[in-house]
Amino acid sequence: MTDSKSTKSSNHTSNEMWGGRFAAGPSAIMQEINASIDIDKRLWREDIDGSKAHANMLAAQGIITAEDRDQILGGLAKIAEEISIGAFAFSAEREDIHMNIEARLADLIGPAAGRLHTARSRNDQVATDFRLWCRAAATRMMAGLSALQTALVEKAETHADTVMPGFTHLQTAQPVTFGHHCLAYVEMFARDKGRFEDARARLNENPLGAAALAGTSFPLDREATSASLGFDRPMANSLDAVSSRDFALELLAAASICAVHVSRLAEEIVNWSSAQFGFVQLSDRFSTGSSIMPQKKNPDAAELCRAKSGRIIGDLNALLIMLKGLPLAYSKDMQEDKEQTFDGIDALELALAAMSGMISDMSVNEANMAAAAGSAFSTATDLADWLVRVLNMPFRQAHHVTGALVAMAESKGVDLADLSLDDMQSVEQSITQDVFSVLTVEASVASRTSFGGTAPDNVRQQARQWQAALTDQ
């Protein structure tokens, strides 16, 4: 918290931060471009946690006294309380979250505060804070994905028998069940969750103790700070520890792939909720109206989820481009890493929550889905399969016969099931009345019993397995 003494002279404050090397403080423009506190103040919890672990380790190693440690820990606890209740005044003159906290600590406990930075640089400090934040973010993404999977699995079980058209090229292809369609996204989001889990495991190494770039001459116990902060191990190379940001790249890469999956589902919801499809209806909680057209009910939440994917991918690209030309070790360019990462993760977290709510509240028009499922000769493949299975016809011949029957039905303006047996036998004499048993959409989906197929019994079994797996997490 700034007071009259600390704000009298920006030059004086800046010189205190940088030591005796500089005779004059920065220009106003330099202060503006250099300060990151508006962005990195989000790291205050991580910064305080890292400082506590560092202070405890310094005392345990005899580098600072127990008395200094206790004063530092007490002051940090006070600062955490001030920030959490909104009573902390962040100062752009102090550049970043690290110096804001350190300056306030000096206000509270005096000279002992200066001992906290022994054997530590802002370089390893920010790398530690950022890894801690990204680790927690990965955990939150996994939880958000689990919630979305749960919503989809519940819909899948409810609609294991609900038939709908399956599409290729956005053209009706074969009947599937809506439950099967939902479970496709459950599988996608499971892979997304695995990517976040992998990213979390890889980033869980401790940079603290690398100092500016070369390590330190003080007898640190980096295993102790690693254990205190929940890291698996200290990072093995001090240059790598302060300069690597691939953990943020990997987090955003996982977020970008996940956002693409969210966007694909959002696109389908936008289509399905239109009057032309009429497959689903979104609740009022996840729709908006029009300022001029009173009949409109717009799927804005789905559209915004779709749009978020571009933003998240852009954040990943921005970070990739920012890092690609940097030599080892730390460069000020890296100050730009957090805004992109925070933005991408915030956007995905919101999109996952919105999508979970939409899916949970969404109602399904089973009649419209069933009517569409039987259109556009969607059971043609079932007819071809019947010719192969029952008449022992080579598939290529069966494909040709079926194509001729589709052309006949199209010319008559009817579906395949509406052709007479005589019609069918005029194309292939050996066809029998039994062929009509496979030409309903219900028979079509029921026959797809191969592993991973759309048969309702398959869907129910997969839904139950997913429910158990998600409950155990």
| Amino acid making up residue 430 | S
DSSP calls for 145-208? HHHHHHHHHHHHHHTSS-EEEEEETTEEEEEEEHHHHHHHHHHHHHHHHHHHHHHHHHH-EE-T
Among the options 169, 291, 411, 450, which is catalytic?
169
- The three-state (H, E, C) secondary structure of 335-398, written as one string: HHHHHHHHHHHHHHHHHHHHHHHHHHHCEECHHHHHHHHCCCCCCHHHHHHHHHHHHCCCHHHH
95: three-class secondary structure by DSSP = coil
Rounded to an integer, what distance in angstroms lies between the CA atom of residue 206 and that of residue 240?
11
Rounded to an integer, what distance in angstroms lies between the CA atom of residue 131 and that of residue 421?
69
Name 23's Cβ contacts closer than 8 Å, sequence gap at least 6: none
Active site residue 290: yes
User: Is the peptide bond prior to 253 cis by the omega test (within 30 degrees of 0)?
Assistant: no
Helices (H) and strands (E) counted in the chain, each on its own, are: 19, 6
Rounded to an integer, what distance in angstroms lies between the CA atom of residue 433 and that of residue 424?
10
Which residue reads 């955003």 in tokens?
252
Dihedral angle, C-alpha 246, 247, 249, 251, nearest 10 ° = 160
Which residue reads 């994905």 in tokens?
145
- Residue 172 main-chain phi, psi, to 5 deg: -60, 130
Classify burial at 137, counting beta carbons within 10 Å of its beta carbon; exposed 0-12, middle 13-18, buried 19 or more. Answer: buried
Active site residue 400: no
Classify burial at 79, counting beta carbons within 10 Å of its beta carbon; exposed 0-12, middle 13-18, buried 19 or more. Answer: buried
Among the options 290, 331, 375, 430, which is catalytic?
290
Q: Hey, which residues are catalytic here?
A: 169, 290
